[in-house]
Each structure stands twice: as C-alpha cells, then as structure tokens.
Chains A and B, each alone.
Chain A
C-alpha cells in the first residue's frame, strides 16, 4: 500500500530512497532513454559490416571516436549492437513478465474463487513447477517443438507464473473474508467485477514487487538460452547471443564479450536492487 502512496508524492519519494537505489533507477532510465533515441544517435547502423575496421578496441584502449565501444569480428559497431540487443532483451523480459503475471494472477484468483478440486490441482501444479529447474523445461520444449521466436516468447512468458499464482491465490482468499468484498457480494455485484475492480487494485502493489523479482530472472533465462544458441537467433541479436559469439574472440577482442556481459550484469543488478528495496518498503507498512 505504501508503495502506491509513495509513488503519488514522487518528488519527496526519490530523495527518500537509499543511494544505491537512486543509482539503479538512474541507470535503468539511462538505458531506456538510449533505446528510445537509438535511431537518432550518430552511430553506424548496428548491422553495417566494415571489414577494414575489424576488432577495433574501445576508446581509451587504442580505439577512436568512430567506434566508442570498439568493433566486432565483422567491423560492426559494438555500441550500436549493444543498444539494439538491450532493446531485444529488455522488451522480451518485460513482455514475458507481463504475460506470466497475467497468467499466474488469473490462475491464482480462479483457484481462490472456486476452491475444492480446482484449488488442489492449482496448488499441486504450482508445487511441481517450483520444484523443477525451469531451464530444463524450456530446453525440453525447444527440443520438442524446434527453435522459433513464438515458442521462445511463450517459454519466457511461462517463467514465474507459479509465483504470481501462489501470491494472488493467498491474497484473494484473504480478501474474500474482508468487509468490502462481502458487502459487494451481498449487494449482488458479479464476482468478475469484484475481482477486477476491487480485489486486483488491492493486491497490485505486491504483484508489482513480485514482477521486479521476476524481471531479472527472465533476463538471466533469456540471455542463458540465447548464449547457448537456443534462444534468439541471428540476424536478431540479444545480449546473450552477442556474448555467445564474442566468446570466440576472447584472445583478440575481449570487449566483444565483456561489453554485453557487463550490460546484462548491471541490468539485472539494478532491477534486483530496486526490487529488494520495494519489497522491504512494502514489508515495513
């Protein structure tokens, strides 16, 4: 609850945050701005091959202003590729988190509403999902159905549904005993309206914090699969497959792998820091 209140008086809110959280927020906003202004930046096209400028180091290590973060084995500008990979990875992680929040929350509310065997099936499925490492499931699905983008988004969207389902089920069950739900039910409002208009806004802040915990884990899953060559395929690039290709050039061009690696690390780190802080902020209230 305090989260929603705090967001409303934003001015004071930013200054109340610990320093690391401020830095993390600033970093994420900087990343998002870079993604948005990418088409207007004076950078070479991310796919433009320049064989005469192969394996140029970043600026400060012998490289020039033409390629700020250096170039890869085909002479492509690393900064331009980094930003477009960042766009792919962040968009996938955001989309996947939204999908899994919708799936999980719907299942959780349905389980709480119907109870009985529906509830038991959902609880059993949640327990089973939580006990099996998700990367094994996603690798199996990839092997069975072949590697394609639609399946990949579906797999990422499935990740973490059980977390949302468990939370929304518990909180919906609790709210079914609350006065406002009982009152609306007595007045004859349909359950669907009660859940969507009244229960959901009340549990939204907790679900939002869960999303900030889910988000970095989706980034890790997506980049791991892409790194293994089983996720995003060229010509599309994500941070994971950029690093996977850069791995072959550790001796001659370490920056090709290190730059996307650092980007993944900083993104997951800053979202985790914000998530941890938001969770403890909610816990205090």
Chain B
C-alpha cells in the first residue's frame, strides 16, 4: 500500500514537471519563431515543421502531442548541434556520473569520520577545528577553489592538466573541488546527527550497562545517526548537479553541467528541457528510494503511516 502511494506521488510529480516545462516553453512565444526566421522560410516548410512536431491544433492538442512525444523519448532537435536533443544529453551523461560518483566518495570518506569524531569530541579542539574547516569550506565558492587548485597544481608545479578529459589526472582537480566543498557541508550534518543520537536514552542505558564506548557507537549511535543522513541524500544529489554546472565549466569537463551552461547561453531550449526533466526525474527517484529505505531502516515510520 505504502509502495503504491509513493509510486503514485512520484508519477504525479513527474507529470507536474512535464506540464510545467510545457507551460514555460509556450509562455515565451511561438516555438516556430525561435527556430525559423519567417522572412526567409517558405510557409510550406513551416507548416511541415508544425505538423512534424505537433505544433498544430488547439493548445490542448499540442499539450497531448507534447506529452506523447516526451514519453516516447522524443524531445526535439538541439538548435546548437542540429541533432536529437536526448542523444546530445545522453552522450554527456557518463562524464558527469563519473565526476559526481567520485566526488560523493571523497565527500563520504572525509565527511563521515571527521563529523563523527567532532561530535564525539564536542566542544574539544578537534570539534572546533572541524567546524572552522566547515565554515571555510562553505564560504569558498566552487570556482575560486577550482582556480586556486589550477594555479597551484597546474600553473606552478605542472603536476596536473588544467582542462579536459581523458586520464585519471584530469579527474583529480574537479573531483577534489566538488568533493571537498560537499564534505564541508556533510561534516556538519554528520556531526549534528551523531550529537542527536548521543542524547538518546538507549545510549545512556547502554553506558549504564557498562558497554564500551566503541560498542555503544556501533550498536546504538551509528544506526540512529544514519536516519537523518539518509533523509538529506536527495538534497546532496541536487547540490552536486548544481556544483557540476560551475565546476565543469572551470575545468572544461564535457559533462551535463557544462551542457546546461552552454544551452542557456545559446538558448537551446530543447536540450535544456531534457536536462531539467532528467534532473527532476533523478531527484524524484532518489526521493522515492529514500522513502522506501526509511521504512526498512526505521519501522516506526511505516507503523505511523498505517494509522
């Protein structure tokens, strides 16, 4: 039952996004005029194009044609490259997934231990150091960190290539830029999640029963701290896509993020709508997975929803 209502909500969200994109695209004027110059195009060519892409009939018929096209994976032609918009985005996807995946690893490897240690040592020297690092990391814009890395590692020491894709050396700086920035954010989340878990009664009672601190952490603190961390995962996925648009531009990384910026600059709406729906779909699916994982991780939420 739970699964069904969640799936239903995900489908409704997707449909809302498709509709919003349709409204936004049509609100900015006749799509034909965005592609053709009516002065030097024959009426026959324009009519043929209208017919082909479903720009005929009432706005409701156009909407139906649009939805049908979208579910067929047919998003129109990119005006930048005159190719199928979906194919243009799809070929950029592996590079971005590689970047985001490795950045997530860096974020977890740095963020989880430092955040947890800071919480266990609350108020101590390590805690203050971690919090200070997190504040600095938060205030540092992605593109400034990226440029500093280029200046130090490429311009001064000639260690790494500053631009492009191809070898593992190309990956180091973009991954560090996104990973470190997100680790600074994540440390705070981990710290406050662990701090909250430490206040639970089960921790106090475990301590009274004489369990060692390490055992308490593994058996009682970590499982409880996991719940809020799972909740923020979709937000982090979104944040990484957003960071990608800037960082990929800094390092000339040919991924989806740079494609967003290029298609905005060129006003390539066909490509942009594919990316928006892809990002929205990604967030909706992540949300769905998190909701389902939550029921497994915390049976109380499932029980509460039954009533």
* A59 at interface by CB-CB < 8 Å: no
* A85 at interface by CB-CB < 8 Å: no
Chain B residue nearest to A270 (CB atoms) is B139
Given the interface pairs A250-B155, A276-B135, the reply to whether A144 lies near B245 with Cβ below 8 Å is: no
B239: chain A residues within 8 A (beta carbon): 133
Within 8 A of B (CB), among A120-155: 130-136, 139-140, 142-146
Chain B residue nearest to A139 (CB atoms) is B264
* B283 at interface by CB-CB < 8 Å: yes
Candidates B27, B143, B268; contact of A227 at CB < 8 Å: B143
A243: chain B residues within 8 A (beta carbon): 143-144, 147
A-B contact count (CB 8 A): 108
Q: How far is the CA of A280 from the CA of B28 in the complex (A)?
A: 46
Candidates B142, B151, B238; contact of A133 at CB < 8 Å: B238
Contacting pair A220 B141 (CB below 8 A): yes
Given the interface pairs A230-B265, A247-B147, A250-B151, the reply to whether A132 lies near B139 with Cβ below 8 Å is: no
* B194 at interface by CB-CB < 8 Å: no
Q: How far is the CA of A254 from the CA of B235 in the complex (A)?
A: 35
* A272 at interface by CB-CB < 8 Å: yes
A130: chain B residues within 8 A (beta carbon): 235
B150: chain A residues within 8 A (beta carbon): 250
5 nearest A-B residue pairs (beta carbon): A133-B242, A269-B139, A261-B144, A268-B139, A133-B238
* A183 at interface by CB-CB < 8 Å: no
Q: How far is the CA of A142 from the CA of B150 in the complex (A)?
A: 29
* A88 at interface by CB-CB < 8 Å: no
Interface of A is mostly: helix
Not counting A134-B242, A243-B147, A261-B141, a sample of 11 additional A-B residue pairs whose C-beta atoms are within 8 angstroms of each other reads A131-B238, A136-B238, A139-B272, A140-B264, A143-B263, A144-B269, A216-B139, A227-B143, A258-B147, A265-B144, A268-B139
* A224 at interface by CB-CB < 8 Å: yes
Chain A residue nearest to B140 (CB atoms) is A265
Q: How far is the CA of A211 from the CA of B140 in the complex (A)?
A: 19
B residues adjacent to A (C-beta < 8 A): 24-25, 27-28, 135-136, 138-144, 147-148, 150-151, 155, 234-235, 238-239, 241-242, 245-246, 249-250, 260-261, 263-265, 267-269, 272, 276, 279-280, 283, 287
* A172 at interface by CB-CB < 8 Å: no
Contacting pair A143 B144 (CB below 8 A): no
Interface of B is mostly: helix
Listed residue (B27, B140, B260, B264) with the most chain A CB atoms within 10 angstroms of its CB? B264
B272: chain A residues within 8 A (beta carbon): 139-140, 143
* A229 at interface by CB-CB < 8 Å: yes
Given the interface pairs A133-B242, A135-B242, A136-B276, the reply to whether A229 lies near B139 with Cβ below 8 Å is: no
Contacting pair B147 A261 (CB below 8 A): yes
B241: chain A residues within 8 A (beta carbon): 133, 136
* A264 at interface by CB-CB < 8 Å: yes
Given the interface pairs A144-B28, A223-B141, the reply to whether A131 lies near B260 with Cβ below 8 Å is: no
Candidates A139, A216, A272; contact of B260 at CB < 8 Å: A139
Contacting pair B151 A131 (CB below 8 A): no
Q: How far is the CA of A144 from the CA of B264 in the complex (A)?
A: 8
Contacting pair A269 B143 (CB below 8 A): no
A27 to chain B, nearest CB (A): 12
Contacting pair B28 A145 (CB below 8 A): yes
B263: chain A residues within 8 A (beta carbon): 143
Candidates A131, A230, A247, A272; contact of B139 at CB < 8 Å: A272
Candidates A131, A136, A144, A146; contact of B242 at CB < 8 Å: A136
Given the interface pairs A136-B279, A143-B269, A247-B147, the reply to whether A272 lies near B141 with Cβ below 8 Å is: no
Q: How far is the CA of A257 from the CA of B250 in the complex (A)?
A: 13
Listed residue (A134, A216, A268) with the most chain B CB atoms within 10 angstroms of its CB? A268
Given the interface pairs A144-B24, A247-B147, the reply to whether A230 lies near B135 with Cβ below 8 Å is: no
Q: How far is the CA of A265 from the CA of B148 in the complex (A)?
A: 12
Q: How far is the CA of A229 from the CA of B261 in the complex (A)?
A: 9
Candidates B135, B260, B269, B287; contact of A136 at CB < 8 Å: B260
Chain B residue nearest to A137 (CB atoms) is B276
Contacting pair B143 A132 (CB below 8 A): no
Q: How far is the CA of A243 from the CA of B239 in the complex (A)?
A: 22
B159 to chain A, nearest CB (A): 15
B276: chain A residues within 8 A (beta carbon): 136, 140
* A4 at interface by CB-CB < 8 Å: no
* A5 at interface by CB-CB < 8 Å: no
A and B contact pairs by CB, cutoff 8 A, 27 listed = A131-B234, A131-B238, A131-B287, A133-B238, A136-B245, A136-B276, A139-B272, A140-B24, A140-B264, A142-B264, A144-B24, A144-B25, A216-B138, A224-B141, A224-B143, A227-B143, A228-B245, A228-B261, A230-B261, A243-B143, A243-B144, A247-B147, A247-B250, A251-B155, A258-B147, A264-B141, A265-B144
